Amino acid sequence: MLITVYLHRTHKWNSVVNQVVFVTGSAVGIGREVATSWAKESATIVALDIDTAENKMTHSQVESAGGTCHSYTCDISDREAVRAVFDDLKGKIDHIDLLVNNAAVYGDTKLTSSDWDTQTRAFDNAMGSCAMGAFYCTAAAVPLLEKSGTSNIINILTDHVRPGFYLTGGPATGYDCAKFALWRLTESWAEELKEMGIRVNGLCFGATDTPMLREFAPQMIENGMKVEDLDLAIRHVINQGPGGDTGASYDFGMGPTPRATSLEQIDAIRK
């Protein structure tokens, strides 16, 4: 299970000190990019992933970039493992400014691909790494997010949740179901946490050059987005400020959209 800039790189958070960014799926891809990008602004990064070796590399890159890193080998589908991480963080951080729920796995969860044990475990893994893991991490993080005063939760979604982009009949039903759940949680959490000053938004996007895409759809890499484009989208959402959107899920780079067009769509997130 995988659990963790471009144009206009001027950020309202540049004047904020002691930023704390919590990233799941931090070992590779989008999660690593977010961790190392914010480290360049001297942020403290909390990096969770089940891949110990790659997450150690993320830890090293964060510190080389100028940040502080608390990295954990953690299966976020295990709520007790998540609890243990937050227990260990006591005394190390006193707030969280940004939580990025990025972790997910893309695997074969078709009913008929293998035997009952194999397919049910695969579906549990897909739901646990994304939907359940995001719930556990967010539930634990809320008290620390509230202390920030201007905090954000960004849920990494997919264009699969939009009509016309479903993978109906494909092998990734577990991945898609988990993302649908996280999309719904985005809206629910936004309402629940609004009074605490916590904004919650999602990113619905298409092909991005990550290890996941290289494994399952390498033909889409050439015209796909880069991981730094996703970091830019996150920054645009945050830079809307306390009065910005909450409960929104932004669409960009859907399907075979050329990267140049995707970047224009990302730029439109700025307000």
The tens digit of pLDDT for each residue in 184-226 reads: 999 999 999 999 999 999 999 987 765 665 566 666 656 678 9
Q: Is 50 in contact with 56 (CB distance < 8 Å)? A: no
Q: Is the pLDDT of residue 259 over 80?
A: yes
Instruction: Return the pLDDT at 215.
Output: 62
Residue type, 249: S
**Tens digits of residue pLDDT in 228-238:** 999 999 999 99
Residue among 67, 70, 2, 66 at smallest CA distance from 31: 2
Indicate the pLDDT class of residue 102, thresholds 50, 70 and 90: very high
**Tens digits of residue pLDDT in 162-190:** 877 766 556 789 999 999 999 999 999 99
- Tokens representing 18 are 């002691």
Q: How far apart are CA 6 and CA 122, in angstroms?
A: 36
Instruction: Return the pLDDT at 247.
Output: 98
**Tens digits of residue pLDDT in 122-139:** 999 999 999 999 999 999
CATH of domain 12-267: 3.40.50.720
Instruction: Return the pLDDT at 5.
Output: 31
Q: How far apart are CA 83 and CA 161, in angstroms?
A: 30
Instruction: Return the pLDDT at 167.
Output: 60
CB-CB neighbours of 45 under 10 Å? 29
What's this model's pTM, rounded to 2 decimal places?
0.90
Which range is least confidently modeled, 110-119, 129-138, 255-264?
Answer: 255-264
Residue among 126, 119, 183 at smallest CA distance from 156: 183
CA distances from residue 157 to 45, 71, 202 in whole angstroms, order as listed: 21, 23, 6
172 phi, psi to nearest 5 deg: -95, 40
Instruction: Return the pLDDT at 148.
Output: 94
DSSP bridge partners of 23 = 47, 100
Above pLDDT 70, what percent of the chain?
A: 86
44-49 β-sheet, strand order: 68-73, 44-49, 20-24, 98-101, 151-156, 198-205, 249-252
Instruction: Return the pLDDT at 206.
Output: 82
